[in-house]
Structure 1
Amino acid sequence: MHGTVVQAGHVEEIHASQVYLPPHPPADQWPRRVGVVPLLADCFQDRAALRRLDRAVPGGEAAPTTWVVVGMGGVGKTQLAASFAERLWDDGAVDLLLWVTAGSRDSVIAGYASAAAEVVGSTHDDPERDADRLLAWLATTGRTWLVVLDDLANPADLRGLWPPSRPGGRVVVTTRRRDASLSRRDRVLVEVEVFTPAEAESYFADKLAGHDRLAEGAAELAEDLGRLPIALAQAAAYLVNRGLTARQYRHRFAARGRTLAQVLPDADELPDDHRTTVAVTWALSVESLNRSHGPHLAAPLLELAAVLDANGAPVRIFTSHAVSTWLADGPGLPPDFDDILDALHLLQRFSLASVQPDEPNRAVEVHALVQRATREGTPEARMRQVARTAADALLEIWPETERASDFIAAVRSNVVALNAVAGDHLWGHEAHQVLFRAGTSLGEAGMSAEAAAHFGSVAATAHRLLGEDHPDTLTALAHLGNLRGVAGDPGAAVDRLSALLAVRTRVLGADHQDTLSTRNDLAYWLAELHRYEEAIGEWERLVLDQLRVLGPDHPITLTTRGRLAKARTRVGAHAEAVAELEQVLADRVRVSGPDHPDTLMTRNSLAASVAEAGDPAAATRQLEALLVDHIRVMGEDHPNTLAIRNNAAYWLGVAGDPAGAAARLEQVVADKARIWGRNHPRTFYSRNNLAEWTGRAGDPAGAVAQLERLIEDQLGVLAPGHPYALKTRRLLAEWRSRTARR
């Protein structure tokens, strides 16, 4: 019998024929130790789980006497058990301390037989009989004892071998397994997690004492390593041996092309009696899973989870049609929902994943280092399949109409994670569409900076893999141009889109849909710069081209007609604008239905045109009705919901209720600040309106104070010529003047 056991960096090679038997002490010599308790790691940290064990003092017949210490590989379960055992020994609380490495049933029996030889005089002629004699002694002796069964590989190995539950005895079992058979009312389950931020900081401070320069960036490094104790210990050894600061080590750790093996100590550098590296720790868990269950759905699901967000992935990814088809073995039926859930829970039983059914949007979590080790152990061709399957699944579960929700946020974060670790696999002759869907979603959620970063990455990859004139490269550049405007610089948007229009006309042709879309976007940002005549002229020409190329019912044609009508209100053509928007709304309802987001926002545009045509009270009523429908369809925190609330409040003030407008706008500003921050352009827009209606409601000094703070906040965020910044300065001058006249 033999086997390799790795637990929190402590490795034992177990050979039943090679158990070391020290000379027997005299029969009356107590206390006694049998087995080797691992040395405590340098800079060992006192942790909450250890305090739970320290409080575990049996208090009578009914008190639990067995503690099962559970956690993933490398969190320090063995170290906690060793610390507990040594404290009891030093306090004189046990007469017998027995430490057994529980990597197999044979190793447990061998450990028991060795102890039996010490306490009951066994001869080792029959190890199983000797083990039974030890268990009988434990059940009847008046002496106190502690049995530690370290790194239990398979709960079934302890059938008939669990030490008895009695007041004078204590049992600690450490294991990565989470099987139901480990839980009983007379056992206490002790979960061991990774270090807390404070524990990680304390560990690095202690470990790098005397190397103060190297500690620069240690807190960030701990987060990169997921605060896993074994990883922190090995990283500390690596940087000390090479004279690297923690910040320099982070660059190496994150560098593409470097494997875990290249950023961890060599075998002869491992600290604290570690005999293998972080990556091997989980490889053994996977091997154990495969040994006990053979080829199984769990292994490919772990590969899939390894390219998703370490903070959690929606369970719907794993149960999607895309994933079940990929998991199908040959011509047989693909696994069903229950098969996949069972496989995910199997990963949890082996502490390779955490499955939380009550958190469906973040249901499946895999530690970042387990993810990395899994990816590095997956062949390149296989990794491409995994990455594309993940992308297909994410696109499949993305709802056609997005509500502001935790689910959408989780889906987006998983695309970002997938792109970060396996992005090149999402490209062939073109980009996988999930990349564009994620970026568009970020923008629509008001996260313009994040969207710009995402599309910047997509554009750079498209340029590198597909070329500067490929349609996907140009699409990413179009998004980036529009996002410059959304972020507060419409002038830059005009410049970028003008340059892109020339390229798209050359590469795709004047009548290509992408070229027409670029003209539409360019006209929009011209209007945002108050260059209305230029915008109207471009939209008038564009509508004729779109009617010819796309037809009257195409969504892009309808968008252009709506934008043209809105621009007409800016030059005083109110009746014409209202009539055209009413027709666009009727066409939207007919083509897309009353609840389509474009239909809803056409109602918003129509209400604004009605107000500007001289009936703000009717506009307010329209917007309040629209708000009910928009919340029902898109959610309370959707950017357009907040825009409608802003508009309804504004026109309420124009209709004669300035105090009501100010009260409503105060809440809109609070909600926008909660979602995007006080210094986001969307928040600036409503802060301008709030200041204006604060003054009109009779508090000009309050308006001045708000506008002065707003100008300070806008510095460094908005370009000086941005319309919002210009409006703030105009309003400030107006309300200062009114205050001075009082």
Structure 2
Amino acid sequence: MKPFSEDESLAYLTEQLAASGRQEPESEVRPLATELGGLPLALSQAAAYLVDAGIGCGHYRSLLSDRATHLTDLTPESGALPDDQTTTLAAAWSLSVESADRMRPVGLSRPMLRLTSLLDPNGVPEAVLTSPPSLHCLADQRDALTSTAGEPVTAAEAAGALRTLHRFSLLDHDPAHPQQAVRVLKTVQRTTRESLTADDLHTLARALADALLAVWPQTTRDHALVQALRANVDTLILHAQPGLYADGRAHRVLFTAGESLGEGGQVMAAREYFASLATANARYLGSEHADTLAALRRHAYWRSETGDVTGALDLYEQLLVRLRDSVGPDSPETIFARADLAWCQGRPGDITQAVATSSELLSDFLRVLGPDDPGTLTARHNLAWWHGKAGDITGAAAATDELLPEFIRVLGPDHPATLTVRHSLAQWRGEAGDAPGAAAAYDELLTHMLRVLGPDHPATLAGRHDLAWWLGQTGDAGQAADAYAHVLSDRIRILGENHPDTLATRADLAWWRGQAGNAQEAAQEYKLVVRDRIHVLGENHPDTFAARADLAYWQAMVGDTTQRGTPPSDDDGTDTPPGCQVELFLLDDTHPGVEQSTRITLRVRPDPGHPWAVSDSRRRPTLEVLALTPGPADIEPARAFYDHRTDLEFTFTPRRPGRHIIRFTLYENASGAALQQVETELTVTGSDIDAGLLVPTAERRQG
């Protein structure tokens, strides 16, 4: 008999219960009818058990989910079957499987049903069940069950077994939807699993883990497939976790599933996944096993990606102590953990330490792994990156340009790491001042990314995001805003509204809409970005600080200084506007006298939340600085531009001894508004100037 539809199943189960004086709400009956798959035999025997045991549909569903309860315990005994039935549900399915096994391809239906019993009932990609590891397992299972030595199983025969099981209503096979082609009733899966021994479970678990890994795509371009594979890994863990540790190591598919979460944008889920994996690895392998420490390392990495850099740094420090003790200081695991630590150190701004650690690391990578190891190449790339962040943009660009042919030679032109190097090259080109060249480089890079990774890959979206930035830097704020709007739509669709990358695109879209002339809209949107970053990333995340600074900037542009840098709030109180320090230093150690020159540098240090405290220097407003000394002295240059990357240098030459006043006025270059003015005094006694830090007196100005 064909399965009932969902509504037919509901009506049947409701009628059977009513005949015995049972009335249950549809909200309880419908889920049970759905879980039983509309099979008339399953529905009738479930109704009989409910009446006989005096339990409700919800309780029955919980028993079905309880792995300690056998399915035979949830159906009436053979003498109490309803509707003159003579066969229990489990026995009926067993008979169906025996009949299916006699159909061509002979002997493969039961082995195939065994494989599917450990996978996601809501959808198994057909490629998993026709992959070489599955074919090998099917052949072994068939031979063991029939006590014969048959021929190898082909993919066509495996697909044939699926069709046979489909005809016997033991599973649903829909080749038109390959990512979820095979669906199996939970009750059928359960009956099958209950017939397996512990050795069977271990064997099937390893084979399925190999099969899942064999079809896992190298990139996450096919999100539907990756999501289906992850769901099947989760189900495999649920039913046969010990088998994934049968050879003394954690199966690689466990790590692959976790990485796919983070690479797909689910950074918080990846963080929690690897924390759980580390716990499981420790339970099955020991707390100091290499796979336990590897899971902890990935947990630390994804913890840093969620914004908890401090927590990640602590974890890395603890992990390195354990790695040095367990596998030694020169093991690849230890060196890669140190590389992660170096990268993490630079994220909150400790670039000097990141450069020092990366330099030391590169020597160890070369010594231990050799010049052509991908890890060594990545270490060279990261060192160049931190040099660039430290201000040596020309050197970073040259080192990265030198690296690109090496990545192409070792990994190929389409490897994601090679594309990352191209991305960095485009970035440094823009940082060096060539915004049109950077935009062109990103445009060319996106052609490769679309072909290799697909339009929805996070790296492709990041490339489009950066291209939009450099389009704005060429002077077309409107085009940049339009480009960001398109990226935002796709990031919301793919990553969700609260993903950190989505929030970054919202922030930059607001920035360029403001630059295009809509400062009020920019200020309003930044209020929402600050609010959402606090919710998603926390108060102390660097991106939250950056958003506060950008909000303060646009509030200043529209004249709203009462709550500078604060998100929407019900609090009617006002914040004290954040401060800004202008620091002046004497560079020369000597004490010049009258008619002798000395160099003075100017550096702006805004407090968090000040309009100029944007973490990305590219988005800080260029300031025009006018230097004036009213007395008999010269200062050159009299006019300079401050880009927040390097200190401004002035040359001061006094013409007489005594007190000299030097006044610096800072203007917002785009609008010409006077933003701040500071004055300082220098006393020239005879021929001596006090060397050291000059403390300016700042005067706040609106504008």
- Asked if Structure 1 and Structure 2 have the same fold, meaning a TM-score greater than 0.5 normalized by the shorter chain, the answer is yes
Q: Which residue of structure 1 aligns with residue 154 of structure 2?
A: 336
Provide, for residues 259-314 of structure 1, a one-character-per-residue CA deviation record: whole Å limited to 9, x for no partner: 32345566688777776654344223213324667951121111112122222222
Q: Which residue of structure 2 aligns with residue 398 of structure 1?
A: 216
**Contact 2:285 / 2:292 at 8 angstroms: preserved in 1?**
yes
2:461 maps to which of 638, 642, 646: 642
1:512 maps to which of 331, 350, 369: 331
Q: Which residue of structure 2 aligns with residue 625 of structure 1?
A: 444
Q: Which residue of structure 2 aligns with residue 159 of structure 1?
A: none
What's the CA shift for 1:676?
1.8
Provide, for residues 711-737 of structure 1, a one-character-per-residue CA deviation record: whole Å limited to 9, x for no partner: 332343212111221111111111111
Within 1, Cα distance between the matches of 2:8 and 2:394? 64
Identity %: 38
Residue 365 of structure 1 pairs with residue 179 of structure 2: no
1:576 maps to which of 380, 389, 395: 395
1:320 maps to which of 131, 143, 164: 131
**Contact 2:120 / 2:231 at 8 angstroms: preserved in 1?**
yes
Provide, for residues 366-390 of structure 1, a one-character-per-residue CA deviation record: whole Å limited to 9, x for no partner: 2222112111122322222222211
State the AA in 2 paired with 1:375: R
Q: Map 1:371-386 onto structure 2 (within 5 A).
A: 371-386=189-204
Higher mean displacement: 448-457 or 669-678: 448-457
**Contact 1:488 / 1:717 at 8 angstroms: preserved in 2?**
no
State the AA in 1 paired with 2:339: N
RCO (CA 8 Å, sep 6+): is it higher in 1 or 2? 1
Q: Which residue of structure 2 aligns with residue 656 of structure 1?
A: 475
CA 1:371/1:456 → structure 2, altered by over 3 Å: closer, same or farther? farther
Q: Map 1:149-228 onto structure 2 (within 5 A).
A: 192-195=4-7
1:585 maps to which of 390, 404, 412: 404
Q: Which residue of structure 2 aligns with residue 537 of structure 1?
A: 356
**Contact 1:323 / 1:389 at 8 angstroms: preserved in 2?**
yes
CA 1:598/1:293 → structure 2, altered by over 3 Å: closer, same or farther? closer
Q: Which residue of structure 2 aligns with residue 422 of structure 1?
A: 240
State the AA in 1 paired with 2:185: H
Within 2, Cα distance between the matches of 1:235 and 1:248? 12
Residue 308 of structure 1 pairs with residue 133 of structure 2: no
Within 2, Cα distance between the matches of 1:553 and 1:245? 65
Provide, for residues 511-542 of structure 1, a one-character-per-residue CA deviation record: whole Å limited to 9, x for no partner: 11111111111222222212212222211111
CA 1:332/1:250 → structure 2, altered by over 3 Å: closer, same or farther? closer
Within 2, Cα distance between the matches of 1:496 and 1:232? 52
Within 2, Cα distance between the matches of 1:628 and 1:202? 58
Within 2, Cα distance between the matches of 1:203 and 1:523? 67
Within 2, Cα distance between the matches of 1:207 and 1:593? 70
CA 1:294/1:530 → structure 2, altered by over 3 Å: closer, same or farther? closer
Provide, for residues 638-697 of structure 1, a one-character-per-residue CA deviation record: whole Å limited to 9, x for no partner: 010001111111111122111111111111111111112101112112111111112111
Which residues of structure 2 form unaligned runs of 5+?
Answer: 561-702
CA 1:595/1:208 → structure 2, altered by over 3 Å: closer, same or farther? farther
CA 1:231/1:723 → structure 2, altered by over 3 Å: closer, same or farther? farther
Q: Map 1:696-707 onto structure 2 (within 5 A).
A: 696-707=515-526
Q: Which residue of structure 2 aligns with residue 279 of structure 1?
A: 90
Within 1, Cα distance between the matches of 2:346 and 2:13? 53
Higher mean displacement: 667-676 or 609-618: 609-618
Within 2, Cα distance between the matches of 1:605 and 1:528? 16
TM-score by length of 2: 0.72
Which residues of structure 1 form unaligned runs of 5+?
Answer: 1-69, 76-191
Q: Which residue of structure 2 aligns with residue 299 of structure 1?
A: 110
Residue 257 of structure 1 pairs with residue 68 of structure 2: yes
Q: Which residue of structure 2 aligns with residue 603 of structure 1?
A: 422
Within 2, Cα distance between the matches of 1:201 and 1:697? 64
Provide, for residues 141-177 of structure 1, a one-character-per-residue CA deviation record: whole Å limited to 9, x for no partner: xxxxxxxxxxxxxxxxxxxxxxxxxxxxxxxxxxxxx
Q: Which residue of structure 1 aligns with residue 486 of structure 2?
A: 667
Residue 689 of structure 1 pairs with residue 500 of structure 2: no
**Contact 1:395 / 1:434 at 8 angstroms: preserved in 2?**
yes
**Contact 1:195 / 1:229 at 8 angstroms: preserved in 2?**
no
What's the CA shift for 1:410?
2.8
Residue 438 of structure 1 pairs with residue 273 of structure 2: no
Q: Which residue of structure 1 aligns with residue 543 of structure 2?
A: 724
**Equivalent residue of 1:716, what SS?**
helix
State the AA in 1 paired with 2:189: Q
**Contact 1:208 / 1:236 at 8 angstroms: preserved in 2?**
no
Provide, for residues 587-628 of structure 1, a one-character-per-residue CA deviation record: whole Å limited to 9, x for no partner: 101111111110001111121122112212211111110001
**Equivalent residue of 1:517, what SS?**
helix
Residue 412 of structure 1 pairs with residue 223 of structure 2: no
State the AA in 1 paired with 2:179: N
What's the CA shift for 1:193?
3.8
Within 1, Cα distance between the matches of 2:236 and 2:349? 41
**Contact 2:9 / 2:43 at 8 angstroms: preserved in 1?**
no
Q: Map 1:54-203 onto structure 2 (within 5 A).
A: 71=2, 75=3, 192-195=4-7
**Contact 1:289 / 1:350 at 8 angstroms: preserved in 2?**
yes
What's the CA shift for 1:245?
6.8
Within 2, Cα distance between the matches of 1:293 and 1:668? 51
State the AA in 1 paired with 2:125: P
Within 1, Cα distance between the matches of 2:279 and 2:40? 37
Within 2, Cα distance between the matches of 1:503 and 1:473? 11
Within 2, Cα distance between the matches of 1:407 and 1:200? 36
What's the CA shift for 1:201?
11
State the AA in 2 paired with 1:371: Q
